[in-house]
């Protein structure tokens, strides 16, 4: 199992650097301890969106320098980063993962790093299904349990893929084709993109402007308008 590490981050506090160094040393041993197909990923939250600085295992196909998931980016933008244990998500090929995200903060309560574990549980689900079929008295999962969809979290491999995903989600949520959008619709899309952390991405304003068929100055105006609304609230 190979651990890959990124170059040092820019200027930071000694405390943050120490935290990242300690966690980076844990990535490979933790991945080697986990049963089955699993990976351990370390995010330097100062580097968002390209936040992966160490990774061991190969479940999601990502590497050092790859961006965070859309879920982590959204929570960072919202200021709601928190440790989440044992949640399920799904890869594009249909594999179900059991994931844990541990957010580490410094002495000032600033989020510094996120240590994430992603384990492919498909084999364990198959074992469970066989056991339920063979053991007397075992009850199969109900239809609602079988059909339940895990929370959406996308493990993208580069910034372009992340930007396209966020744009597609925000425009789709608006429910109006771009060609038919009025200002209120485009403002809604920009607001949604802002909530998703889209504008933390490099050249995000230009990308949004092209997708919404407006100028980048219009996007800036929308963002200013949204900022004024938040100040008023």
Give pLDDT tens digits along the chain (233 positions). Answer: 444 444 344 447 899 999 999 999 999 999 999 888 899 999 999 999 999 999 999 899 999 999 999 999 999 999 999 999 999 888 888 888 999 999 999 999 999 999 999 999 855 555 555 556 666 665 555 444 444 454 568 888 899 999 999 999 999 999 999 999 999 999 999 999 999 999 999 999 999 999 999 999 999 999 999 987 666 55
Say what the pLDDT of residue 227 is: 86
Contact between 137 and 144 under an 8 Å Cβ cutoff? The reply is no
83 shares its domain with 163: no
- Report the alpha-carbon distance of residue 115 to residue 90 in Å, rounded: 19
Number of domains in the chain: 2
From 82, 104, 126, the end of a domain falls on 126
Residue 84: which domain range? 3-126
3-state secondary structure (DSSP) of residue 97:
strand
Beta strand 96-105 pairing with 84-90: antiparallel
Token output for 189: 């899309």
Residue located via tokens 């590497």: 63
Report yes or no on 149 lying in a domain: no
Say what the pLDDT of residue 30 is: 95
Say what the pLDDT of residue 146 is: 44
**Per-residue DSSP letters for 115-131?**
EEEEEE-HHHHHHHHHH
114 shares its domain with 175: no
111 shares its domain with 168: no
Helix (H) or strand (E) holding 27: helix 14-33
- Report the alpha-carbon distance of residue 9 to residue 6 in Å, rounded: 8
Predicted TM-score (pTM) of the model is: 0.78
Phi, psi (rounded to 5 degrees) for 68: -70, 170
From 106, 126, 146, the end of a domain falls on 126
Say what the pLDDT of residue 149 is: 53
Non-local CB neighbours of 124 within 8 Å, separated by 6+ positions: 36
> What are the distances in angstroms from CA 231 to CA 76, 186, 227?
20, 20, 6
101 shares its domain with 10: yes
């Amino acid at each position: 199992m190979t651990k890959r590490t990124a170059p040092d981050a820019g200027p930071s506090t000694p405390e943050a650097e120490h935290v990242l160094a300690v966690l980076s040393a844990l990535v490979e041993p933790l991945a080697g301890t986990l049963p089955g197909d699993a990976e351990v990923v370390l995010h330097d939250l100062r580097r968002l969106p390209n936040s992966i600085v160490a990774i061991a295992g190969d479940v999601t196909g990502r590497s050092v320098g790859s961006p965070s998931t859309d879920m982590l980016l959204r929570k960072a933008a919202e200021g709601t980063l928190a440790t989440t244990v044992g949640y399920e998500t799904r890869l594009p090929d249909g594999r179900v993962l059991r994931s844990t995200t541990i957010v580490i903060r410094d002495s000032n309560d600033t989020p510094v790093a996120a240590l994430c574990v992603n384990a492919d549980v498909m084999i364990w689900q198959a074992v469970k299904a066989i056991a339920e079929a063979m053991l007397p008295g075992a009850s199969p999962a109900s239809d609602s349990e079988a059909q339940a969809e895990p929370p959406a979290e996308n493990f993208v491999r580069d910034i372009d893929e992340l930007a396209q995903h966020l744009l597609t989600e925000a425009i789709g949520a608006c429910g109006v084709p771009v060609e038919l959008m009025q200002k209120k619709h485009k403002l809604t899309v920009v607001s949604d993109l802002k909530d998703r952390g889209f504008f933390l991405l490099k050249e995000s304003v230009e990308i949004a402007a092209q997708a919404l068929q407006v100028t980048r100055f219009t996007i800036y105006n929308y963002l200013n308008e949204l900022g004024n609304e938040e100040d008023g609230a």
